[in-house]
Structure 1
Amino acid sequence: MHQASPPAADTQRLDTWLWAARFYKTRSLAKEAIEGGKVRLNGHPAKPAAKVRPGDELDVSRAGEHMQVRVVALNEQRRPASEAQGLYAESAESLARRERERELRRLAGGAPAPSRKPDSHAREALRRLRGKA
């Protein structure tokens, strides 16, 4: 009888890696982002079950920021942020771009606060905008 070989320890699912590296709060959010085209693996659109290994390049867009990172290590468990940062290395140009964008947002001052809470029509419009209607 042939026995299935154990999974290779040098690869990990993309969605679990993004969760363990603290890019997303849950694996489900990571999966949604990948399926929504917010994550590219080695320059190509990815699937949640795509295997990542050290040395792979990821382009991650989240919360209005775009990061280019290289996978340095794998970890199946979600660890503290200080340890999670050791799982990847952000490129120098990505870091500089994010700093520049952050400074531009700070200088722009952001959107003014609404004068009152949204009513039911406004809440429905917001849900449609976010794609959750």
Structure 2
Amino acid sequence: MRLDKYLKNSRIIKRRTVAKEACEGGRVSINGKVAKPSTEVALGDIIEIQFGDKTLKAEITNVAEHVTKEGSKEMFTIIE
């Protein structure tokens, strides 16, 4: 699954266009490398997102095309 679509489906970022802009701005990295919106994500990947002066670090635990609001919380585990 594409990174921008994963961020939207997991509800880490609410809109795919905002997720795409964050990736293009260099604020999202996967396993320590800056990622493009089209980067494929896999189970066990570590995502880091810069939100202003805060950083969200999460591990991917599930990749699903269609999820409910409750199910989206099971798609990642927050590390820091």
- CA distance in 2 between counterparts of 1:79 and 1:23 reads 14
What's the TM-score, normalizing by structure 2? 0.90
The structure with the larger Rg is 1
* Structure 1: unaligned runs, 5 residues or longer: 1-11, 95-133
The structure with the largest strand share of the pair is 2
Classify 1:40/1:68 alpha carbon distance in 2 versus 1 (closer, same or farther; 3 Å). same
Residues 89-128 of structure 1 aligned to structure 2 (within 5 Å): 89-91=77-79, 94=80
Aligned residues: 80
Task: Kindly state the Cα deviation for residue 30 of structure 1 after the two structures are TM-superposed.
Answer: 0.4
% identical equivalent positions: 30
Aligned-CA RMSD value: 1.3
1:39 corresponds to which residue? 28
Unaligned runs of 5+ in 2: none
- Structure having greater relative contact order (Cα 8 Å, sep ≥ 6): 2
Quote the residue 1:85 is aligned against.
Answer: 73
* 3-state SS of 2:73 partner: helix
TM-score (norm 1): 0.56
Deviation at 1:79, TM superposition (A): 2.4
Is residue 62 of structure 1 aligned with residue 51 of structure 2? yes
1:25 matches 2:14: yes
Extract structure 1 runs of 4+ deviating beyond 3 A: none
**Equivalent position of 1:76 in the other structure:** 65
As a proportion of its length, which structure holds more helix? 1
Superposition deviation, residue 67 in structure 1: 1.0
